[in-house]
Structure formats: structure tokens, C-alpha cells
Amino acid sequence: MNRFILLLASGLGAGFSPFAPGTAGTLVAIPIELVLSRIRIPVYELTLLTFFFFSSWIAEKAQKHWQKSDDRRIVIDEMMGYLLTMLWIPKTLLFISVGFLLFRLFDIVKPFPCRPLEKVRGGFGVVLDDVFAGIYANVGLQFLRVLIE
């Protein structure tokens, strides 16, 4: 069971990338998003809400195993953030690419309240900053969408 949890926490192993594991984890989220986005709304939103709690639980278990808070191998939080980035956004190459770039930018820069949210205890602290980075990226994509359409 531990191996399965670590496999999920690491984004099917992407978190073990020696270079930019968060970016690798976000890349893993793209095909997952393309599959999940076929689910009808509101079941899609409920799926993302469930994934938030699931990813927080997985992150908590992985932290305890690796005995390190927000270990760089944990990338399920980046996956959650990217899924939120793409919520209600057309699944075109342009939006997928810009969404990826915006999410990574906000995940790295950590505008308020991302950094303070990292201090929340347990797996929720691991995931919450990425949730807000995803929200920021989603807002950016919504503005782009308005400009294009």
C-alpha cells in the first residue's frame, strides 16, 4: 500500500525527476485533465473537489513516509493545481500550453496567499498553495479567453 501511495504522490514517478519535479508532475496532469474534462458538469467539479481531499490525504501519507514536509518528490499537489487551472477552459493547444506556463509561474512565484498557505499543517498545506496558484492561472486564462473570443 505504501508503494501505491508514493507512486500517486510522485505523479506516477514524475516527482523523482532530477530536474524540476514540479514541472514534470504538471506535465503528468495534462493527459489526466484531458480525460477528466470529458465528465459533465457538475460531476466534473465534484470530481475535482474529491481529488483535492484525496491529494491532501496522499500528500500527508507521503510526508510521513519521507519524513519531510512538502518533499519535492510529492507532485500530486501540482497535478491538483493544474486541474484547477483548466477548469471551465477550452481544451485547445493554446489554452493547455498557456495554462501550463501560467500555473508553473504562479506556483514558483507564490503570490499571496500561496506562501502562507504552505504553513497549514499536513497534506492540506502541501496542496493549498497549488490550489491558489491554479486559481490565479485560471483567472489569467479566463482573461485570455475573453480577449480571444
**DSSP assignment string, 36-63:** HTTSPTTHHHHHHHHHHHHHHHHHHHHH
Residue 15 has pLDDT above 80, yes or no: yes
Q: Distance between CA atoms of 44 and 23, rounded to whole angstroms?
A: 24
- Tens-place pLDDT, residues 107-141: 999 888 878 877 788 899 999 999 999 999 999 99
Q: Distance between CA atoms of 51 and 110, rounded to whole angstroms?
A: 22
The residue ranking higher by pLDDT, 149 or 100, is 100
In the predicted model, what is the mean pLDDT of residues 49-65?
96
Quick check: helix, strand or coil at residue 128? helix
Please tell me the predicted confidence (pLDDT) of residue 121: 81
Residue 86 has pLDDT above 90, yes or no: yes
Element (H, E) at 116: helix 114-117
Average model confidence (pLDDT) for the chain? 94
Element (H, E) at 123: helix 122-148
Split at pLDDT 50, 70, 90, the class of 1 is: low
